[in-house]
Structures are given as C-alpha cells and as structure tokens.
Amino acid sequence: MFFLRLIFLFVVVFNCIKAQDPVGHLKPLGEQTPPTVPIDEFTIDNAPRPYDFYENYVKPSKAAIFRGAMLDTSGFKLWTDEYIKENYGTMEVRTEGKKEKNSKIPVGVKYLGRDTISHFVDNYHLPNTSMYMVSELPEVMFKEVGVLPSLGACGEMGRRFVEIDIWWNGGGGRSVIHKDAFNQLNCLYRGTKSWKLYEYKYEKWIHKHWEPENEVGGFSEVDVDAVDLYKHPNIAKIPWSNITINAGDCLFLPKSYYHQVHSNGEQNLAVSILFSRFDGIEHIDVSDCTDQTDYKIPRPLSEAGVMWKWCGTGMMSMGNGDFEGEYRPMLMRTIADLNEAGMDFTVDNIAELSGGQDEDDGKLRIGNYDKALAVLDANGDGKLTMEEVQNATWDQLRAYALEVEPHEPSNSYKFEYSYISYDEVKMILDNIIPQYETLTREKWINVYTKMLHGTTNFANQIFTGLVDSEEINEVSTSNLT
C-alpha cells in the first residue's frame, strides 16, 4: 500500500512540474510568444525612391517587403529547371545541407560542397537528398536578375553592391537563427519562404554562439525545432515578426538583423543582393536621380557594378569584404594615423591589418603582402599614400583584397581538407582498417565515403599518400602507419 501511495505521489509531483514548463518549451520556434512586430509592405507602384528608402529603411535598419517586385523580370519568367540546366549547367556552385549546422555537406560531381548546376538540377529533388545551393550567383546569370528600383534605379546604394548569392533547394530547407554582415535584398523567384525576424537591438537575448571578434555575422544556439526554454529562456522575451514571402516578392533585410528561414513547398530559388552596411553614413548621394529616372521597372543586375563577381569556376569570394566600406577607409585611416606620427605605410602595416598568418579562426591565410602593396603603390616606392588609396580603382582594391583577405575554406576545391579532420581519418585507420588483412584502394574509398561522407577523389588521394604511389592498389594493413 505504501508503495502504491509513493508511486501516486511521484506521478502527481511529476505532472505538476511538467505543467509548470514555460509556454512553448521544446516546441518549434515561434510557439513561445506570438509575433507582434509588423513589417511595412509595398508594391512596385508605391515603393519608395532610393533617397526615401535609405532614410526610412536602410539607415534605421527597418525591414520592408516589396510584393510582386520581380514578376516582370527575365529570371522570374525563364528560370525553370530545364532552362537553367541548358543555359548554365556547366557553372559551378557551392552547396550545403538543408538544415543549417545540422546536415552533412553534400558531395557534388567531384568535390565536397561544390557541384555543377547541371548535376544539382538532376539530384536536388531525389528522395532523402539534403542538397541546398548556397552560393555566389555566376555572373553570366546577372542579366536575368532584376534590381529593385528603390535600391538601384539611381543613387549611391546601387553603386555599392558587394556580392550576389543564390539560394536554391527542393523544399524543406531550414536555417538556424542567424544574422548577416551586409544589408541585403532577398528576392524569391520560385517557391515560398517563411521568415522569423528579430531586430539587432535584441541580440543580448538571442543566445549567440561564440565567434571570433573579427566576425560581423553570427548565429544563435537555440534549437529552432525544439526550443529549450530552460537553456535559452531569453528567446521568448524578444518581440518578433512572422512573414511569408512568395514567388516574385522581395524582402529588404537590414544588416545584422537576426532571422530564421523555412523553405516551403517543393522548391525554392532566391537571389540575394548584398550591399554596403553604410555605417555612420547620414545621407547617401542621389545626385543622379532625376524626374526622368525609371522608378517602376527593375533594371538588369548586369548593368550594376558588383564588387565581387563569381565567374562560375575556381576560387569563390563568398564572404569577402566591402571595397568602399572596409578596405579603402581602413587603409586611409591607418595611413593618416601613421603620417601624423611621422611614419609611412609599408608592407609591415598590411600584415598588422590582416592578422597573423597563424590566427586560429578556421580561415586560410595564403596571400602575398608584398604583392598586395604593389597593386596600390602607383609610384612603386614601397609606401602607400592617401592619394594612391583614394585613386585606387575597384580592380586594384579587388587585387589587394585577394592577397590580404583570409580565405573561407568552403570557397575552395580543398574544403574537404578542413571539413573532415585528421582525427576522423586516423580513427578509421586505427579502428576499422585493422579488421582487414589487406586494404585495397577500392575498399578504402568505400569505407571513407560511407563513414565520413567525403568524396571518392579525396579518398583516392589519401590512399595514394598511404602507399606512396598512384600505381599500388592493395597493401597489407600491417604496413600502414
């Protein structure tokens, strides 16, 4: 009898504790508190002109929606799977898993996290695929992308595009809560996306994951599928917006504005124009805006200047910096400070600005600082002056940046080297391979690709390194060290 009473008491106490869980505990993001922050909406007919868009939305970091803004663009009308594959199939793109931070990086035709558009189109709808194209948009496709007149009909914003990205998946893509460094205009060409938005001023409650000080982006540790309100209670305090973006719509997402995105339906394809942060800029130059400017029809992106353009092969520049918002002003400030102290700007100062070669932030530092100085040093005297930096063209600043900018590993063909660790490979060698008396190249490739989800290409390179020969295809495991 006592035992039964004890069980009854335990059940009562357990149910009481369970009943006291915070609202939305272990529920999907959004079920903790209702959305309370409205977002202004426009059509192409009543959208603000560039000056007003900057003053009322970009400068104060206020989000805005532009319904149907891309409906008359070439991309919206032409971009079927078949059209894109036929016209741009050989172009390469960067890929990742549909669930950001929680999915394996997919294997492309040859490389990890890198694929051709043709192969992507053939595979992104297959059952159980996790392929999500998150890449710089190949420049050859710019001509079919529209630029919202509020952003690029005229004025300084239209001259400060940093990077153009494409986001494409077969539906079901889901991000973590995160923020991006630049202002961006995200336009949806196919599908529907659900966005949850959180203003930057609430970052203290976002439960941000640690990142190096030099990173401007960032993400939250909150599990968006099951929010643990005991671990992350502050997320429920944040006023937020819940919006749906449909095909043809554009969302202006201000710099550092936290957001979480879910791709609905069978496929989603969006293009995002990343443009300068304009930190501390009170007013922008709109001297080229006149009564004759067309504020109703999006002009092709190919007519706009873009700092970083992706040719569709080789090393990407995704995540690189802003020529006018970072490199030029940083160099000019440093030169001014040095000159005031009676010193000149030399190659040693570039090394100081760029961080140590051994800085542990997961990025590759492989540049040549002497070359970086030389591309800006017009008179070749080994020193940089204010005038030389002020007169530098975008081509010069780009060449400079390519030498000093730390390279994100996922932008290169060698991403697999950093993604799959030495310890993981050694674990297979130490624990799995000894189960076999002999190891063939084919067996190693099979084990590596299945266990570590890497590529056949890199597995083959590792085996060649183990046996020190491209000709040997079988080795006794007792000879492996």
Q: For residues 290 and 225, is the Cβ–Cβ distance under 8 A?
A: no
Instruction: Calculate mean pLDDT across residues 273-285.
Output: 98
* List of long-range contacts for 394-397, beta carbons under 8 Å, 24+ apart: 394/305, 394/307, 394/323, 397/323, 397/327, 397/328
Residue 389 has pLDDT above 60, yes or no: yes
Q: What is the pLDDT of residue 358?
A: 54
Query: Poorest-confidence range of 187-201, 255-269, 362-376?
Result: 362-376
Residue 294 has pLDDT above 60, yes or no: yes
Instruction: Calculate mean pLDDT across residues 204-221.
Output: 83
- Cα atoms in the 13 Å half-sphere on the side-chain side of 429: 16
Instruction: Calculate mean pLDDT across residues 444-460.
Output: 95
Q: For residues 188 and 161, is the Cβ–Cβ distance under 8 A?
A: no
pLDDT tens track for 138-167: 999 999 999 999 999 999 999 999 999 999
Taking residue 5's Cβ as centre, other Cβ atoms within 10 Å add up to: 9
Instruction: For residues 227 and 234, give the distance between their C-alpha atoms in angstroms, rounded to a whole number.
Output: 11
Instruction: For residues 102 and 124, give the distance between their C-alpha atoms in angstroms, rounded to a whole number.
Output: 18
Residue 256 has pLDDT above 50, yes or no: yes
Q: What is the pLDDT of residue 355?
A: 65
pLDDT tens track for 83-141: 999 999 999 999 998 876 667 899 999 999 999 999 999 999 988 888 999 999 999 99
- Alpha carbon separation from 225 to 22, 24, 35, 37, 99 (Å, rounded): 16, 11, 17, 22, 10
Mean residue pLDDT of the chain comes to 92
Q: What is the pLDDT of residue 41?
A: 99
Q: What is the pLDDT of residue 199?
A: 97
Q: What is the pLDDT of residue 390?
A: 98
Amino acid letter, 431: N
Q: What is the pLDDT of residue 458?
A: 94
Nearest to residue 195, comparing CAs of 84, 63, 61, 57?
Answer: 63
- Alpha carbon separation from 94 to 132, 136, 189, 200, 241 (Å, rounded): 9, 7, 19, 28, 30
Q: What is the pLDDT of residue 29?
A: 96
Instruction: Calculate mean pLDDT across residues 325-352.
Output: 96
Per CATH, is 40-303 categorized as 2.60.120.650? Answer: yes
Nearest to residue 57, comparing CAs of 204, 167, 163, 185?
Answer: 185
pTM listed for this prediction: 0.91
pLDDT tens track for 23-46: 999 999 999 999 999 999 999 999
Q: What is the pLDDT of residue 211?
A: 74
Instruction: For residues 64 and 38, give the distance between their C-alpha atoms in angstroms, rounded to a whole number.
Output: 10
Q: Cβ neighbours of residue 300 under 8 Å, at least 6 residues apart?
A: 74, 142, 143, 144, 145, 146, 147
Q: Cα angle vertex 305, ends 369, 88, to 5°? A: 95
Task: Look at residue 443 and give its three-state secondary structure.
Answer: helix
pLDDT bin (cut points 50, 70, 90) of residue 436 is: confident
Q: For residues 162 and 182, is the Cβ–Cβ distance under 8 A?
A: yes
Instruction: Calculate mean pLDDT across residues 51-59.
Output: 99
Residue 364 has pLDDT above 80, yes or no: no
DSSP letter, residue 76: H
Write down the domain spans for the chain.
40-303, 323-411, 420-479
